[in-house]
Chain A
Amino acid sequence: MLAALILFPLFFAALALLLPWYQGRSWMLPLAGTLHLLLASFLVVRQAPVAAPGTWIGLDSLSKIVLLATSLLFFCCAFYAVEYLKLHRARGNKVMAPCLLIFLSAMTLAVVARHLGVLWMAVETTTIASAPLIYYNRNRLSIEATWKYLLICSVGIALAMFGILFIAYSALGGAGPATLQFDKLLAAAPTLASPWLHAGFVFLLVGFGTKMGLAPLHTWKPDAYGEAPAVIGALLSGGLTSVAFLAIVRGVQLMGAAGDLTMARHALLGMGLLSLLLAAVFMVRQPDIKRMLAYSSVEHMGILAIGIGIGGLATYGALLHLINNALTKGCLFLSAGNIQRAFASKNLSEVRGAISVVPVSGTLFLVGFLAITGSPPFGLFMSEFTILRGIFSGGHTAVGVAFLSLLAMIFIGMGATVLAATQGETTEKKVLFKDRFLLVAPPLILILVVLLLGLYIPEPLRALLQNAANLLEGKS
């Protein structure tokens, strides 16, 4: 069942490659997206027992959360992509459609992997599959962004491989046979040689941290998100970063089982605070709306790292934040794409008064900004508040104060750019683009879900989040 979830997007990718019909190829995406969402929700809801130890793929509470978030995000992006590809007929979709589907498959495999080697392979495949997507616009800037993305992420992932090999070596001295199967590693964790395990975790953190975009390893992010089509930016910033975060969380789980949770937490906390700081610095007076979103992504990766780094209640908050961030980033990127189309620019020098030109997209962008900065009543308010409660109840007052003041700085910096882009008089004379149903409905759905999560968290979801947090805390 789980294998089908990974394999059927590949089947659709092959179909999209063979199909000689442009619209048909585009419609493969929503078809696969819908099927993926249905199957994924069925698998998550069905209270299946955790797969027997020794299998390569399986679902636990942590992967269920990431699977739900990425699947819902892909579902919305797929419908958006159909209309997007219709607008860019000249550029074709022969590469875009199959690559997106391979990307979906690799992302799913990375989420459900119970074997560190398989996890690595899947994450590397997502890098390769998304490079042609970033290059979709085929101009000088997108080449530069693609080259940086490919090189930096490949080297980062190579470091993560070293980390995985170190962890495997740490198991070599123990009683059992050498393995990279995650459940077996967890069971053997107390016997792992700790110098190798520590070195392995550091390499893992740096490697997958590059992919996730934690400062100071985020340098590819503004370029790639800025130059990629909006729908790709949404999938990278909402989906791929969550997957990379899950890979780091696996490392934390292992460190926890080995009794070295403190070291892992300190490392995450340091990187998280640095991410917030760098994001705040670069977000102020940022004239480019998509680069601004990229720095916002760095910020939220930092918040996730801080949540895990503090532990306790904050872990629960961080996991809820992962869902909220993925969906809100989707809404923001998709509506920013519409604004960019309306002004043929993403720079504040030309983008002014978006609400009067593309009313729905402009409003969605503004609402998305309110949501992402943690204003009530959206879901991010709840999750950031939970993390904050965790920070203060854990007695980390200094961290809490720094966290709050950086968030305030980011709110002001981001607000200046977003308000200038959406409000006021437009200078645009002729209308290049009007809101279309398939280009505004997906971001609308995403932001509605985020709103819903802020008002009410269904009991099954709360239980799922609590279970996942317990997994990380070492309670069962």
Chain B
Amino acid sequence: MHSLSNFCLLLVVLLNFFTLGSARLGACIRAVAIQGGLLALLPILSHGITGHTLLLSGGALLLKGIFIPWLLLRAIREVRIRREVEPLIGYVPTLLLGALITAGTFIFADFLPLLPQHHDGLFIPTALATFFSGFLLLMTRRKAITQVLGYLMLENGIFIFGILLSDAMPLMVEAGVLLDLLVGVFVMGIVMNQINREFSTINTERLSALKE
């Protein structure tokens, strides 16, 4: 069980790298969708099959693996864009930064006083690495849609950490968190649509009128 969940987590880290290094938006969205699907396996793998984990996994799979990626894929089809152009920092430097951050989180997690049962798991470094990869994606890309994707990835990182604590998080709160994510992405989608209509592009560098 342990090795299986670690294998999933390694795949999650690899998907982080893939998303950071890829210019094709469709592929990025699919990568994050697969990541969401993998995350849905984790509660069952680490806590066994109970009503709580089944609901959590089902919700995560539906939202993170299927519904939100579908919304995003539809959005890029509507605005007819396929590639991210000119990111603020190039792909290779982003990848390098991502690798550095990942290495850093693995070292950092070694310093934290972990409980004995979490010592050989990869949950905490993966959670932090995914969170910060998402943050990096959000900071370095100009397309609004990639920024939303970064936000999604960042939430995936939190979800991984949350699995360790599913005793502390009542199901209703978990459901609320997922619902907030969904509505949040939905509202971001609406705003993105308005940006596209108003500026005829979803490049957020045009959003620079407000400053001192």
**A interface residues, Cβ below 8 angstroms from B:** 115, 117-118, 120-121, 124-125, 127-128, 131-132, 135, 138-141, 143-148, 150-151, 154-155, 158, 161-162, 165, 168-169, 171-173, 177-180, 193, 195-196, 199, 222-223, 226-227, 282
Contacts and interface: CB of A to CB of B under 8 A. Distances in A.
Given A121-B173, A155-B138, A146 B168 contact: no
B195 A143 contact: yes
Interface in B164-185: 164-165, 167-170, 173, 176-177, 180, 183-184
B187 A141 contact: no
Nearest to A122: B176
A147 B155 contact: no
B161 interface: yes
B1 interface: no
A282 B151 contact: no
Interface of B: 112-113, 115, 131, 135, 138, 144, 147, 151, 154-155, 158, 161-162, 164-165, 167-170, 173, 176-177, 180, 183-184, 187-188, 190-191, 194-195, 198-199, 204, 207-210, 212
A374 to B, nearest CB: 25
A121 B177 contact: yes
B207 A144 contact: yes
B164 A154 contact: no
Given A180-B169, A195-B112, A150 B188 contact: yes
Given A121-B173, A131-B191, A154-B184, A147 B168 contact: no
24 contacts: A117-B177, A118-B176, A121-B177, A121-B180, A125-B180, A127-B184, A128-B180, A128-B183, A131-B191, A132-B190, A140-B198, A147-B195, A151-B138, A158-B151, A158-B154, A161-B177, A169-B164, A171-B168, A172-B165, A173-B113, A178-B165, A178-B167, A193-B113, A226-B210
Contacts of B169: 117, 168, 180
Contacts, number: 116
Contacts of B188: 150-151
Nearest to B148: A151
A196 B165 contact: no
Contacts of B113: 173, 193, 195-196
A165 B191 contact: no
A179 B158 contact: no
Contact of A143 (B154, B176, B194, B212): B194
A177 B170 CA distance: 13
Contacts of B167: 177-178
Contact of B184 (A128, A171, A196): A128
A165 B184 contact: no
B168 A178 contact: yes
Contacts of A150: 184, 187-188, 191
Given A121-B177, A154-B151, A178-B168, A196 B138 contact: no
B111 to A, nearest CB: 8
A394 to B, nearest CB: 34
A118 B168 CA distance: 12
A305 B183 CA distance: 31
Contacts of B161: 162, 165
Nearest to B116: A173
B187 A158 contact: no
Given A131-B191, A132-B187, A147-B144, 12 more contacts: A118-B176, A121-B176, A124-B177, A128-B187, A131-B187, A138-B194, A143-B194, A146-B191, A148-B210, A168-B165, A172-B115, A282-B212
B109 to A, nearest CB: 11
